Structure 1
């Protein structure tokens, strides 16, 4: 069976493909580390009301005291005037977001301005929740995965016809075969996963630059190009558990 690390890494192709397919524009709901995100919005409401209770859901129980103390300091400083209020608010927003992200195992890189573009899958997920309708998001995901599976299947099936013609053609088949099987396995693992919060940490995980498709999943997660550009053949093949003896 695949190790936990390998299983997580193998999900990279699906995550990258979905992120690349959802190229939508327009305003989107903010996220954890933006000024118009839900964390900061709740913080703004809390300091106006003078009640921290509604914020504690954003942090682990072990960090509640830190947030309570920071909140009380913020209220004291806010009372000193408009300039002090602005500084106190930003101090508290940054503290809350930092603790929230640390609780998810994600780095704190500062609070982004309101209107900061989000990765499209995140924007679409937020929009689905806001509208109470999942249909569009589900269709996009299904179409993205189907497109990528079909393209990898076609490449593997075509290469299979010529696999015995030469060593080079055989290697091309193995490379296409492994990419196809890895993608299907990753899609299945991701689709059937339970409790895989934020993949590998953080409210918003921006898609990393695609790695070479032939890299071993336990060294670098094999990512894939967008659905519309995913026909490129890998130059070599990683070892796959189906091929192990």
Structure 2
């Protein structure tokens, strides 16, 4: 039964140290998940996951919407299951394990916060001084590659995934990674492409 599945999943979750801001309740992935539920448009969430995870997420989303209309405690659990499923599939696409959504207020690396702000403001001027000088040119290149893909129709999931791919490449490099570490999230590819989205909605 769907409700039993929710309860079992939540009971198995254990608190863990945050590994990426897409794992946090305040992060862009969860923000987009809430927007999907609020609008009834799963595309806000689909851009965060590989194409091969789409069927699973759609199924949980549809069930969550149905339970949500009941306005009971089960609705909250159904929403939680949807968000957990979305972030889990997203992290699996990155080749990273999922340890649960971390609570509101979880601290993230200041560089990540600055990278978020750079995308939101359209300038990386404040971010660049925070990384070693020899990495700035490449980081700036990745920033602009993400920025030019930022504005897209939410219903164009392929475009959203292309943006997220560039977004994640930018964030990983900002955090000190020298490679993308992802494959594409396109229809025939696997990747973490990230549309961040405190605004445009890892």
Equivalence for 1:48: 38
Equivalence for 1:88: 78
Which digits, 9 at most, give the CA deviation of each residue in 1:70-102, with x for residues without a partner? 101111111222312111111111011101000
Q: Is residue 196 of structure 1 aligned with residue 186 of structure 2?
A: no
Q: Is residue 121 of structure 1 aligned with residue 111 of structure 2?
A: yes
Is this contact kept in 1: 2:90–2:192, CA < 8 A? no
Distance 2:81 2:29 in 1: 14
Q: Is residue 72 of structure 1 aligned with residue 62 of structure 2?
A: yes
Distance 2:106 2:192 in 1: 16
SS in 1 for 2:56: helix
| Long gaps (5+) in structure 1 | 1-29, 147-189, 204-245
Equivalence for 2:88: 98
Q: How does 1:88-237 map to 2 (within 5 A)?
A: 88-143=78-133, 196-197=179-180
TM-score calculated relative to the size of structure 1? 0.47
Q: How big is the shift at 1:120?
A: 2.0
Is this contact kept in 2: 1:105–1:202, CA < 8 A? no
Bigger radius of gyration: 1
Stretches of 4+ aligned residues off by more than 3 angstroms: 142-146
Query: What is the aligned length?
Result: 128
Distance 2:72 2:120 in 1: 33
Higher RCO structure (Cα 8 Å, ≥6 apart)? 1
Q: Which one of 10, 33, 41 corresponds to residue 23 of structure 2?
A: 33
Is this contact kept in 1: 2:22–2:30, CA < 8 A? yes
Distance 2:106 2:38 in 1: 24
Q: What is the alpha-carbon root mean square deviation over aligned residues?
A: 3.1
Distance 2:100 2:134 in 1: 32
Distance 1:142 1:81 in 2: 51
Q: How big is the shift at 1:138?
A: 1.3
Is this contact kept in 2: 1:36–1:115, CA < 8 A? yes
Distance 2:178 2:77 in 1: 37
The 1:63–1:198 alpha-carbon spacing in structure 2 relative to 1, beyond 3 Å, is same
Which digits, 9 at most, give the CA deviation of each residue in 1:169-213, with x for residues without a partner? xxxxxxxxxxxxxxxxxxxxx79xx992258x989xxxxxxxxxx
